[in-house]
Chains A and B, each alone.
Chain A
Amino acid sequence: MKKLLYKTLVFIALFIAFDYGIGLLFTSLEDKVIDYPINYGNAYLKAARNLEDDVVIIGESRAHGNFIPSILEDSLGMSVVNAASNGSYMSQQAAVIRMMLNRYVPQLIIWEVNPTSLMETFQSDELDAALDLTPFYKSDSLSRYLVQQRDGYEWIKMQSNAYRNNNKLVGLLLIIASGHHDDNLKGYNPLSTSGYIFPSKKEHLFDDDFSKYRYDLLKSTLEFAGRKGCRMVLVSSPQYEITNLNSTIQAQMFESLMDSLNVSYFDYRCDERFQTDSTYFKDCSHLNQKGAQAFMQIIIPEISSAI
């Protein structure tokens, strides 16, 4: 039994050493990928560490596929980057915005977000998505707080570098494998316009569902941006659906918050121009390339007037 104990101790020591080595490996991989063209796999890292553009687009897959930086650049005369990350939630986006604002202040942040972000019901998915913030676990208190909400033992698990980087290796390697190609898209993810059946309109009904915590987080982030001197524009992209969202408490609280903070909010979720044409959509929630181009033409005057 003594021999087993001795071997176990040796194994634990080796495990700790290898884990430390993995931490170093990931630090160097992260340092490497922030020099590569922006992609949802490195968008958070770049936003937090090296973006310097005048306009930054933040959000989830809708922002990723609906906002075309090149069109915005031509119209606004400023450098624009799309730093959206698929599957992310308002709380993670808020953490990224804060980290970015602590490093530099862009002239404008376009935040693709809508009143569903104030709902309580998404919480379990959101907790899993918080793992995207683990690269900032040690350096950023809000990221650490969001990650630790996952469960009571998360702070213990996060001591392991390997656990902290769970599911990140392939994403980082794919970015490196894609090479230093020309970054014409600047983070935009064009969704195809053919090869599928255009969606049928779906009914998406919501109950009153309001989270005070999320409201406070959104409010404090907008206030933080204001204190830093950064202009924020919030946008809800078109969706192909019949919805009662605007009559819910979460939507009312959302709009009253924008009014009280004097933040521009453009709600195109139920815009008639898109509701009558399914060919603008890849699916009920996402615009295709044709839809994104049409959306840019509509939103550019609004954004121009807001800055």
Chain B
Amino acid sequence: MTFTSFEFLLFFPAVVLLYNIIPQKWRLFYLLAASYVFYAFLQPVYLILLAAVTATTYGFTRWMENVDDDDKKHKIMIWGIVVILLPLFFFKYFNFVDESITSLFQSMGIGITMPTIRWMLPLGISYYTFMAIGYLVDVYNEDVEVEHNVCAVGLFLSFFPIVLSGPIERAGNMFPQIKAMERSKPIDLTSGAKLMLWGYFMKLCVADRLGIYIDAVYSNVAQHNGTSLALAALLFPIQEYGDLGGYSLLAIGAARCFGFKIVPNFNRPFFSTSMSNFWRRWHMSLIKWLTDYIYTPISYALRSKKMWGIVIALLVTFLVSGIWHGAALTVICWGLMQGVLLSIETVFQNKRNNFEEKFKLKKNGLYIFVCCVVVYIIFAFTEIYGMSSSFAEANLIVKKIFTEPGALFIDKTTLSVAVLMTVILFFKDLRDEFFPNKLRCFESKSIVVRFGSYLLICFLILLLGVLNAGQFIYFQF
């Protein structure tokens, strides 16, 4: 059962309805049970792992609470992080490290065989592991109080709208809401439903429709020419935005139906005029997590090195981001590329500011447009490495793009629908970015416009959505 399955359309309203019927004191246990049932539909065996991470997190935070000595507290935090990271390492990175060591020894002429793990990656493990670590660090920093109710910690880490692909929530935002858990207000239900409707549109009409074309091209790189590969590379960020952005809206909307306000994950990323601006708008919950727990401590520790301290912090932060995204050298390289691009931007930031001030470009529409296009193209280029399974494949794509132009591979039906859906998505984002109070559809004061918009999106999904597609891209992380 995933958000796009029919089972979820039966499960979700039933869970919301019952949540509003039962007494408040039972809601915590009820939502925890519903979350575990949701997870069990997908990977029942790995519920044990989720429960174990919950117990570990709870145990270490309670232990920290009972210790006054700061050094000892620090050691407990470090051990807590190590223990929580163990399953992630075991399931996600073990084979990668193992293969890397084997090939290193082989390159030195030493033939060794190491054990390999052929188990499925537990869904959401990267997300709930980061949430657990964040909670542990927040407790150490005394940013949040230790939660004494193990069920509350359990719900924080397993809350079904966000357990599979985030957004990566923080204890400081979630525990007060878990404690409150009042009956859903009408505004919660309507806002949640609207977010979910738009999330379904982004996922089924934009991401999965584009995915048909992109998969057709990328699954057969050798057969396609540079023009088709370039188009696929340019479309891929939109597919990813539709996929994870759509999933995030579904998660935020579903949580909102229970009265929970989850942190946003995307903020119209394709209207970014710089890479740093882009990374403040793309997968925001992950970047906020990395900023708070990696970038800020490192840049603080290296503050004496001034600009170079920031550059090192950026490189390390995005190296971790790459590692988080996948256990493959290409993905780690993608992370480093982001770090390098942001570092270059940081180094030249003052010069760029002076240039923009001198020629009064900050509000120049053409300049903003060109910057957005450049940022988009740079990101799309780096994504060739982010999505490729090997450097050989990524390099082949890049080489073909620059050396093998040809007739564009066109799937008329798929591309025409994909373009139409993408235009609708961009129109909404454009409106939200530059004219937030104009042409409201879902938020119109006129009930005719509102209902008309809901019906239009519903029928676009049913008529033109890809209703038999695969999983969300970010489930693999």
Q: Which residues of A contact B (CB under 8 A)?
A: 1, 3-4, 7, 10-11, 14-15, 18-19, 22, 128, 131, 150-151, 153, 156-157, 160, 162-163, 165-171, 174, 195
Contacts and interface: CB of A to CB of B under 8 A. Distances in A.
State the 6 A-B residue pairs at the shortest beta-carbon distance, nearest first: A162-B462, A4-B186, A153-B6, A170-B413, A128-B468, A163-B462
Given A3-B186, A15-B455, A166-B464, 16 more contacts: A4-B190, A11-B455, A14-B451, A15-B458, A18-B459, A19-B459, A22-B463, A151-B6, A153-B6, A162-B463, A163-B467, A165-B463, A166-B465, A168-B463, A171-B413, A174-B413
Contact of A157 (B6, B186, B447, B458): B6
Contacts of B7: 153
Nearest to A11: B451
Contacts of B412: 174
Nearest to B454: A11
A170 B468 contact: no
Nearest to B190: A4
Contacts of A4: 186, 189-190
Contacts of B189: 4
A170 B467 contact: no
Nearest to A195: B407
Contacts of A168: 463
Nearest to A162: B462
Nearest to B460: A162
Contacts, number: 53
18 contacts: A11-B455, A15-B455, A15-B458, A18-B455, A19-B459, A22-B463, A150-B468, A153-B7, A157-B6, A162-B463, A165-B463, A166-B463, A166-B465, A166-B467, A169-B464, A174-B412, A174-B413, A195-B407
A275 B454 CA distance: 56
Given A163-B462, A166-B467, A174-B413, A156 B455 contact: no
Contacts of A150: 468
B389 interface: no
Nearest to A169: B463
B417 interface: yes
Contacts of A160: 462
Nearest to B420: A170
Nearest to B456: A18
B17 to A, nearest CB: 12
Contacts of A195: 407
Interface string B449-477: 00100110011001111111000000000
Nearest to A168: B463
Contacts of A153: 6-7
Nearest to B455: A18
A18 B417 CA distance: 21
Given A3-B186, A11-B454, A128-B468, A22 B413 contact: no
Interface string B184-208: 0010011000000000000000000
A165 B413 CA distance: 15
Nearest to B193: A8
A10 B448 CA distance: 12
Nearest to A166: B467
B416 interface: yes
Contacts of A166: 462-465, 467
Contacts of A15: 455, 458
Interface in B406-456: 407, 412-413, 416-417, 447, 451, 454-455
Contacts of A169: 463-464
Most buried by A among B190, B417, B466, B467: B467
Most buried by B among A18, A157, A162: A162
A10 B447 CA distance: 11
B21 to A, nearest CB: 12
A167 B186 contact: no
Contacts of B458: 15
Interface in B155-203: 186, 189-190
Contacts of B447: 7
Contact of A156 (B6, B186, B416, B468): B6
A236 B460 CA distance: 40
A4 B184 CA distance: 12
Nearest to A154: B6
Contacts of B6: 151, 153, 156-157
Nearest to B447: A7
Contacts of A151: 6
Contacts of B459: 18-19, 22, 162
A160 B9 CA distance: 15
A22 B466 CA distance: 18
A19 B407 CA distance: 40
A204 to B, nearest CB: 16
Nearest to B209: A167
Contacts of B190: 4
Contacts of A10: 451
Given A157-B6, A162-B459, A195-B407, A170 B451 contact: no
Nearest to B189: A4
Contacts of B464: 166-167, 169-170
A206 to B, nearest CB: 22
Nearest to A124: B468
A43 to B, nearest CB: 15
Nearest to B414: A170
A267 to B, nearest CB: 28
A109 B468 CA distance: 32
A87 to B, nearest CB: 12
A2 B108 CA distance: 74
A19 B459 CA distance: 8
A197 to B, nearest CB: 9
A1 B466 CA distance: 34
A157 B454 CA distance: 19
A127 B416 CA distance: 25
A22 B462 CA distance: 11
A6 to B, nearest CB: 11
Contacts of B451: 10-11, 14
Contacts of B468: 128, 131, 150
Most buried by A among B189, B190, B459, B465: B459
A165 B466 CA distance: 12
A170 B186 contact: no
A121 B279 CA distance: 44
A206 B412 CA distance: 34
A156 B10 CA distance: 12
Contacts of B466: 167
A7 B454 CA distance: 12
A7 B190 CA distance: 10
A170 B407 contact: no
B417 A170 contact: yes
Contacts of A11: 451, 454-455
